[in-house]
A and B are shown apart, each in its own frame.
Chain A
Amino acid sequence: MKGSKARSVLPGFGLSMGFTVFYLCVLVLIPLAGLVVKTTGLTWEQFWNTVTSGRVLASYRISFLTAFFAALINLAFGLLVAWVLVRYRFPGKKLIDSLVDLPFALPTAVAGIALTAIYAPNGWIGSLLDPLGIKIAFTPLGITIALIFIGLPFVVRTVQPVLQDFERETEEAAVMLGAYRWRTFRRVILPELVPALLTGFALAFARGLGEYGSVVFISGNMPLKTEITPLLIMTKLEQYDYSGATAIALVMLLASFLMLLFINYLQWRSNRRAIAD
């Protein structure tokens, strides 16, 4: 397989690329440019003071850590769920499959309310854990749970199609070569899944960073402890401080952009390696 040949053989590059770039510009780049321009209303010093004040720094830490752990858990369990859904048969599978999309369909505010109702100290699960001294709602743990809920479909739904189209022949070849099941998985299946897994992780993580609707209900919003960055942006807006709000937004934007870029690079590399093999 020589990718370089593709350029000359397949048609439609101009059309698809042109449309992609145009649509991207109109819908994403121009609006985002507005954000950047708005921030330039601040002097560099004002900008720096806004985005590095103590409360804001604490909120970055909370947002990044909770989003990261939630994405990590989703990576493991999302793969497992996708695997089970694609490969095994059990009663009610179709229904379970539909359930995975629920976090998309449920408005985030509803999700937040429902999760809080379950994990609050007087809720279904919260009341069981409370006597043990475990608090979930109104702690970073609660935020993580909300983000696991929000991010799960990202991992499952990116891995699932790849797993579904996975060619049995490759696997069979490995078996014929005498590889054990676990080994087959690690050596043959997993590498193929890496791009999809990375994408799923990145999306779940990035989504978690920005999530607002569901988190505000379950987090308790305590400054320095459970105050997430998007809430601080809202706080600024509430005081008519558009520049301050966009400054923090810009920082978050840059952070997730760099992270996504890094992961896309990794993915591209792993893909290249696969092709080279």
Chain B
Amino acid sequence: MSNMTKKFSFRSLLVFTAFGLALAGCGGGGNNGTNNAGGTNAAGNAANAAAGNESAPKPAVELLNVSYDPTRELYDAYNKLFIDYWKTEHNQDVTIKQSHGGSGKQSRAVIDGIKADVVTLALGYDIDAIAEKGLVNEDWQQKFENNSSPYTSTIVFLVRKGNPKGIKDWGDLVKDDVSVITPNPKTSGGARWNYLAAWGYALKQSGGDEQKAQAFVGDLFKNVPVLDSGARGSTTTFVERGIGDVLLAWENEAYLSVNELGKDKFEIVYPSISILAEPPVAVVDKVVDDKGTREVAEGYLDFLYTEEAQKVIAENYYRPQLTSVAEQYKDRFPELELLTIDNDFGGWKEAQTKHFADGGIFDQIYTPGS
């Protein structure tokens, strides 16, 4: 963070003098001061970490976590927990900055130079893209437990209260009178999971006939009246605009919608089969080495696997990895058959090229004249 904050406040300072503006009327204040303090402190920390001094209170440090959209509430809660933990265990103040956006967009921001210490994204594919540019070590997926995925999730159906269309499983989604809401798999990471879950179901039903699976997802997307560009856009279309009979959503998003936007209006339906989504995390090696924040960045991700953190994860409707916590919250997360990207789709790279790249199977659904 040090370079960036320094630069930032330096520029602001320049601006102030250049235009002779006191900015008195702009409200608030002191933000600049904090930024400056953060800058020097982080620099100090680099030296300190090298010395490995444990006894004296360490200077404050700042982390930037670049994450995807649905994790806002999770990391809001988790950051508080981690800051307390790090303060007591390591006697060091940490401030954590968050950046959220579509997973692909966030990954591009890291590639283009945002100084993220850690990335917590929706798909391994997006971190692979960062690794390809050498910012993250190639073996990132082995650095933390469970393929570097401290939590998992799955795709479920959100339907209107009472389930008027009687939607029970994927097969119901291709009926003529059912209207399905999902974001566009080309622009939304979450939507790719939706699509692949549907594909997996159809493949299983037809005993592995890809032709039939393609026809099935084609029929499904013919029932989609609005293709929003992101997962939250779709939720708004379904919840606020009242369009569609069923929303394909992350499990945690579905719970969040029910809790935040109306328990009496929606209910969640678990299909017979879905997909195991493993949102991965990684330390951005190049950035933490430049900034000297490796210790705290790794601590930040390691701590995700502890019991306390896993509870926060479960509270936010992500499926915990730790068996003890999973046991505790098992009523919340019904068991269902889950396909995995690696076993059933040959990994993200293959799934991406086959289904979502230009001219891939998804594009063929929307070929003119079809």
Contact = CB atoms under 8 A, between A and B. Distances in A.
Q: Interface size bucket, A side?
A: 20 to 34
A217 interface: yes
Interface in A179-238: 216-217, 220-224, 231, 234-238
Interface in B177-229: 184, 186-187, 224-229
Contacts of B102: 238
Contacts of A138: 225-226, 243
A137 B241 CA distance: 10
Contacts of A220: 225-227
Given A138-B225, A237-B108, A55 B186 contact: no
Contacts, number: 69
Given A217-B233, A223-B366, A238 B242 contact: no
B186 A54 contact: no
Interface stretch (A26-34, A116-124, A151-159): A116-124
B364 to A, nearest CB: 11
Main secondary structure of the interface of B (DSSP, over half): loop
A249 to B, nearest CB: 16
Contacts of A120: 241-243
B127 to A, nearest CB: 13
A236 B229 CA distance: 12
Contact of A55 (B187, B226, B366): B366
Nearest to A216: B229
A239 B242 contact: no
Contacts of B356: 239
Nearest to A50: B358
Interface in B218-256: 224-229, 233, 240-243
Interface in B339-370: 352, 356-358, 363, 366-368
Contacts of B368: 54-55, 58, 224
Interface residues of B, number: 27
A235 to B, nearest CB: 4
A125 to B, nearest CB: 13
Contacts of B129: 240
B190 to A, nearest CB: 12
B105 interface: yes
Contacts of A53: 358
27 contacts: A54-B368, A55-B363, A58-B368, A116-B241, A120-B241, A120-B242, A121-B241, A122-B242, A137-B241, A138-B226, A138-B243, A216-B228, A220-B227, A221-B184, A221-B229, A222-B227, A223-B227, A224-B368, A234-B187, A235-B186, A238-B187, A239-B104, A239-B186, A239-B352, A239-B357, A240-B104, A241-B358
Interface of B: 102, 104-105, 108, 129, 184, 186-187, 224-229, 233, 240-243, 352, 356-358, 363, 366-368
